[in-house]
């Protein structure tokens, strides 16, 4: 397979595209994203609701899908070119992880499906419908997708996805060798093996993150993250969430790893959402050397000393009961129509 630091291979993925998020309460999740986070509803069908962040050039950013259990659905990756798409699909097929091609994606052309080694589903595409602003959200400046919403958290774009995985080393090898991404930072165990990895597909410091799943389960989500323009908007978002009765898990604060300013909240379906200002740091060095953090360094807490709260290590979606080592069937998780109640708030 290609070397993960080959600059030509690393440019075959342009960026992380739209994502699918499972929720048992799609209307409540929709209201959270529209009224509190500042997204706009752009389309819906019998099973899902499509939402758009104000500066996403594509026709939608997140698809809320009704499922009995919360979690991550398909993550879409846009190829950097038709030729890059061909190279990537060949690498994925050689790894035995391809799952065919579908053509029914809203606003997307042919989508080449595949799975990572942990079972998370991805879709690779090139052709895409661009967002067309209407009279209600037409921007004054023609170089942005839509008008600034001026409500809630004013999320500008999707920033990254953090998955949980039962096998960090195998997933890391896949990201580098098959997708051509590069590891910018990681957490290592005492034996030197990776416990969490941050991978970049472009010049951003990270796009795809994988953290060891404490339950040994596969295919779960830690969080999805959205970017704001400034740190001040994240501080305001904390007040907005407070008034809206949204569960604030931790923050606002600053991570030591990647130096991201953050706020973590849980949306009504139970999925963890990060509001962040991560785009200030860029990885411009083509020969960037991975930064490793050990247990002693992590014990110091976040950048300014905030200790990582317990739920940050234990909560993921679908929710796994304590003592369980596998994700429960969707039918045995949150009942449709029942909002997720964070621990301590019931």
pLDDT tens string 259-270: 899 999 999 999
Collapsing DSSP to helix, strand or coil, 136 comes out as coil
pLDDT at 4 over 90: no
pLDDT > 70: percent of the chain: 89
Q: Which residue has the higher pLDDT, 341 or 30?
A: 30
Please list, residue by residue across 211-249, b when 16 or more beta carbons sit within 10 angstroms of its beta carbon and e when fewer do. bbbebebbbbbbbbbbbbeebebbebbbebbeeeebbeb
Write b or e for each residue in 143-166: b if 16 or more Cβ atoms lie within 10 A of its Cβ, otherwise e: eebbbbbeebbbbbbbbbbbbbbb
Cβ density class 39-70: b for 16+ within 10 Å, e for less: bbebeeeeebbbbbbbbbebbbbbbbbbbbbb
7-321 architecture in CATH?
Roll (3.10)
Q: What is the pLDDT of residues 55-89, one digit of tens each?
A: 999 999 999 999 999 999 999 999 999 999 999 99
Identify the residue with better confidence: 24 or 346. Answer: 24
Q: What are phi and psi of 141, to 5 degrees?
A: -100, 125
Q: Are 120 and 130 in contact (CB under 8 A)?
A: no
């Amino acid at each position: 397979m290609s070397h993960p630091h080959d600059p030509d291979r690393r440019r075959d993925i342009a960026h992380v595209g739209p994502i699918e998020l499972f929720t048992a309460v799609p209307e409540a999740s929709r209201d959270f994203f529209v009224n509190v986070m500042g997204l706009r509803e752009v389309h819906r069908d019998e099973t899902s609701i499509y939402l758009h962040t104000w500066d996403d050039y594509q026709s939608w950013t997140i698809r809320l899908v009704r499922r009995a259990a919360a979690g991550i659905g398909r993550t879409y990756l846009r190829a950097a070119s038709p030729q890059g798409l061909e190279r990537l699909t060949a690498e994925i097929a050689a790894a035995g992880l391809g799952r065919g091609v579908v053509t029914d994606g809203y606003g997307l052309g042919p989508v080449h499906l595949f799975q990572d080694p942990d079972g998370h589903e991805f879709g690779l595409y090139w052709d895409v419908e661009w967002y067309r602003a209407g009279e209600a959200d037409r921007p004054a400046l023609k170089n942005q997708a839509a008008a600034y919403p001026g409500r809630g958290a004013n999320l500008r774009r999707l920033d990254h996805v953090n998955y949980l995985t039962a096998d960090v080393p195998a997933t890391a090898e896949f990201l580098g060798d098959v997708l051509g991404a590069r590891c910018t930072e990681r957490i290592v165990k005492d034996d030197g093996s990776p416990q969490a990895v941050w991978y970049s597909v472009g010049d951003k410091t990270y796009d795809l993150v994988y953290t060891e799943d404490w339950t040994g389960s596969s295919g779960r989500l830690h969080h999805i993250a959205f970017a704001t323009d400034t740190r001040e908007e994240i501080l305001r978002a904390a007040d907005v969430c407070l008034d809206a009765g949204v569960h604030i898990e931790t923050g606002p604060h600053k991570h030591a790893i990647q130096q991201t300013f953050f706020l973590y909240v849980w949306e009504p379906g139970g999925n963890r959402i990060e509001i962040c200002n991560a785009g200030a740091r860029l990885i411009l060095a083509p020969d960037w050397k991975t930064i490793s953090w050990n247990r002693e360094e992590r014990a110091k807490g976040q950048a300014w000393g905030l200790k990582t709260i317990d739920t940050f290590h234990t909560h993921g979606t679908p929710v796994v009961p304590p003592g369980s080592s596998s994700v429960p069937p969707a039918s045995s998780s949150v009942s449709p129509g029942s909002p997720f109640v964070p621990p301590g708030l019931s």
